[in-house]
Amino acid sequence: MQVIVVGGGMVGAAAALALADDGHSVTVVEAGPGYSDDVSDSWDLRISSVHQANVDWLQQLGVWAAITPAKWFPYQQLSVRSSNGVQVDFAASEVAASALGAMVENLSLQQALWQQLAQHPRVTLLAQQRIEQLDSPQQRLRIGDQWYDYDLVIGADGANSQVAQLAGIGMRGWDYDMTCLLAIARTEQPVPAATWEVFRPCGPYALLPLGAQQVCLIDYRSQQQWQTLPTDAQVTAELAAVFTAHIGAFTVSQHGRFPIRRQRALSYHAYDSVVLIGDAAHSIHPLAGQGVNLGFADVQELQQQLREQTTLASALAHYERQRVAANQRMMRAMDAIHVGFSSQHVLPQLVVDTGLQLLKRTPWLKQQIIRQAMGG
């Protein structure tokens, strides 16, 4: 089967590699440069929390070993604290595991994926190219002046998917009126290999461990609040006021902000030959860091259905049925967490605190949640 993957980011590149390994001829069309061998020693702001099941999957694809060792870091514990101070810790050791997952720099993971793709005999890479036209009746698309035939087009080109637009697939979504600030910092004292999140009425804040003394600090606030802090010194001062009590003194090397939006495609496929995966199909609140994990789950489900179903139409229909249900559950869960943990009303706070206390007293339930957090 001739497959064209539009979008060579982490999810699109993983899809291309997985399907090429299954024997399909794959062309990857990427608007950017794909990857560069010139990778900075410092961490980029774009970081993903990859749960352990997907780390194992990327190892099976031969990708994980190719990631620059300094650009991924395993974590063994995850903690959640409510606005009233009720905290629950989830540790890998509770399920006899060595890690819950790993933090990884997006650019380094994408670089490792492209290195694998560049060596693959069934993969063609077209970097710095865009699709201009999609001719669904003839099953061909145009890039510049050249037409490419396909059996399947995979749209992995992000929330503003050109594939979705050319295929006539609509989107539905809304802004959360929140901005997420990310900062890379170096601490004076070592920090545990644990990620944690603290909720408060104005929005949560969190820490991702990137090394013994390297962290990513995350602070969610309303768009208006962060817009009133334009200078580096002001941002650093705000972060110090929030995080110093947790990790001691630290130095911020870089920071950036982005708005938070929830969006989903009205359909995951069209014409029995076009399918959406990753952010092209769904983008969710990043509270639990599930965005890339949902994208990788899309890839694995699509790969399985293409293996099992006798027709492409049937494979895409089964893929959509499975992934819409799973992704919608996660999106609703993130909405519930966003509302419940941030609420200033007594009843939602009571429900949240009661639920966390129940988890602390129920080991088997905690273990179930830990296994789910690991992708089990």
180-219: pLDDT as tens digits? 899 999 999 999 999 999 988 888 899 999 999 999 999 9
- Residue 348 scores a pLDDT above 80: no
Task: Please say if the pLDDT value at position 345 is more than 60.
Answer: no
Checking if the pLDDT of 261 tops 80, the result is: no
Question: Among 4-8, 97-101, 136-140, 330-334, whose mean pLDDT is lowest?
Answer: 330-334
CA distance linking residue 34 with residue 8, whole number of Å = 6
Q: What is the pLDDT of residue 349?
A: 58
In this prediction, residue 253 carries a pLDDT of 93
Task: State how far the Cα of 268 lies from the Cα of 321, in Å rounded to an integer.
Answer: 9
Q: Which amino acid belongs to residue 172?
A: R
**Of all residues in the chain, what percent carry a pLDDT higher than 90?**
65
Rounded CA separation 130/7 (Å): 9
351 pLDDT band, cuts 50/70/90, is low
Residue 160, pLDDT > 70, answer yes
Query: What local confidence, expressed as pLDDT, does residue 371 receive?
Result: 87
Cβ within 8 Å of residue 182, ≥6 positions away: 45, 47, 216, 217, 218, 255, 256, 257, 258
pLDDT score, position 56: 96
**What is the token pair recorded at 279?**
């952010």
Question: What pLDDT does 285 receive?
Answer: 61
For the cut 90, the answer to whether the pLDDT of residue 127 exceeds it is yes
Tokens representing residue 359 in the block: 């988890």
Q: Which residue has the higher pLDDT, 341 or 251?
A: 251
Lowest mean pLDDT among 135-139, 213-217, 333-337: 333-337
Q: Give the C-alpha separation, 321 to 325, whole Å.
A: 6
pLDDT band at residue 82 under the 50/70/90 scheme: confident
If you count them, how many residues does the chain have?
376
Alpha carbon distance 328, 336 (integer Å)? 12
pLDDT tier, 332 (very low <50, low <70, confident <90, very high otherwise)? low
- Kindly report, residue by residue over 262-309, the tens digit of the pLDDT: 788 999 999 999 999 999 999 876 655 567 899 999 999 999 999 999
Determine the pLDDT at residue 52.
Answer: 95
Please give the pLDDT value at position 35. Answer: 73
Query: Six-digit token pair at 313?
Result: 């139409």
- Among candidate residues 199, 225, 159, the one with its CA nearest the CA of residue 352: 199
Is the pLDDT at 228 greater than 90? The verdict is no
Confidence (pLDDT) at 97: 93
Give 19-77 pLDDT, tens digit per residue: 999 999 999 999 988 776 666 788 999 999 999 999 999 999 999 999 999 999 999 99
Mean pLDDT of 306-317: 97
For residue 352, what pLDDT band results from cuts at 50, 70 and 90? low
Q: Which of 16-25, 81-90, 118-127, 283-292 is the least confident region? A: 283-292
